[in-house]
Every structure is written in structure tokens, then in C-alpha cells.
Amino acid sequence: MATTEQDLSELLERNGVRATARRLEVLEELARESDDVTAQQLWGRLRERNSRAGLATVYRTLALLSERGVIDVLSHHGGEQCYRLCGDAHHHHLLCEKCHRVVEIQECGLDDWVTAAAKQHGFVATEHRVEIIGLCADCR
């Protein structure tokens, strides 16, 4: 995972997002998080670091980044959205129901199954989302 300011700045530019100081702060904070965070949590952490970033900017930045595919949005909390800086490739998530750790599943071997299941009902699949909920090694 890219974590230096240089890397993050390039990550933004590469996705057509101007790398401003505020956006870098948000992205750095996301890179620091191993799990997913809500916009409010992220804002809180930024304040702790004496950032003067406004809540609106945090929301605007997260919306922009998810729109450009730079970050993932998870809605497993029902209502509140969670954000996470992930790898570029298509992948799914494994969530620990106890400690809320999030792990990426890199290999998605489901394309055939998805296509077949969709076809069976006359659909053409354009996208699919999978979330596996369970207990991680530490919480078992």
C-alpha cells in the first residue's frame, strides 16, 4: 500500500484529482487506518492531529475519491457509510464481526458463477459485491 506523501499525491493525480493539502491529509489518514472508518471518525482523527479540515471537506473528499475508485465504500453498518483505501484491483472483503477488522480478498473466482446466476434469470451482470462476515484468527 502506498503510504508516502509522494505516493499518495501521485495516486490522486493519476485519478484526475488535484492533490491539495487537505485531500492529502484525508488520504494520509485513510492510509494510516488498517480498517474502514466513517467520515465522522476520520474527521475526529484529523482534529486530534490539529488539522483544521472541515467536516464538509472530509465528506466532499471521500465522495470524490470513492467516485474515482480510489477508495472503497462499505455499508455494512446499515445507515452509516465506511470508507477504506484499498488496492486498485477488483476484490471483496472479509469482516470480523467482533473486532471489525477488514481484510481484502484479492482473488475473486466468482465471475463464472455470477454470470451463470444472472443469466439464469435473464440478467446481464455488470457488477457484484460480496461480503463475508465471520471471526478473525484473533477473535476466535
Partner DNA sequence: CCGAGAACGATAACGGTTCTCATTCCCATC
Partner DNA sequence: GATGGGAATGAGAACCGTTATCGTTCTCGG
Closest CA to 83 of 111, 102, 96, 57: 102
In whole angstroms, how far apart are CA 44 and each of 27, 29, 58, 78, 131? 14, 11, 10, 21, 27
Task: Examine residue 2 and tell whether it contacts its own copies (CB under 8 A).
Answer: no
Task: Examine residue 130 and tell whether it contacts its own copies (CB under 8 A).
Answer: yes
The rounded distance, in Å, linking the Cα atoms of 46 and 127 is: 33
| Opening angle at CA 101, ends 65 and 93, nearest 5 | 60
Minimum Å gap between C-beta 24 and its own copies is 25
Closest CA to 101 of 62, 58, 128, 137: 137
Stretch that binds its own copies, among 10-18, 26-34, 40-48, 102-110 (CB under 8 A): 102-110
Task: Examine residue 3 and tell whether it contacts DNA (CB under 7 A).
Answer: no
Minimum Å gap between C-beta 89 and its own copies is 15
Binding interface with its own copies (CB under 8 A):
73, 75, 78-79, 81, 92, 94, 96-97, 103, 105, 107, 109-110, 113-114, 117-118, 120-137, 140
Chain contacts with DNA (rule: CB under 7 A): 17-23, 38-40, 52-57, 59-61, 63, 79-81
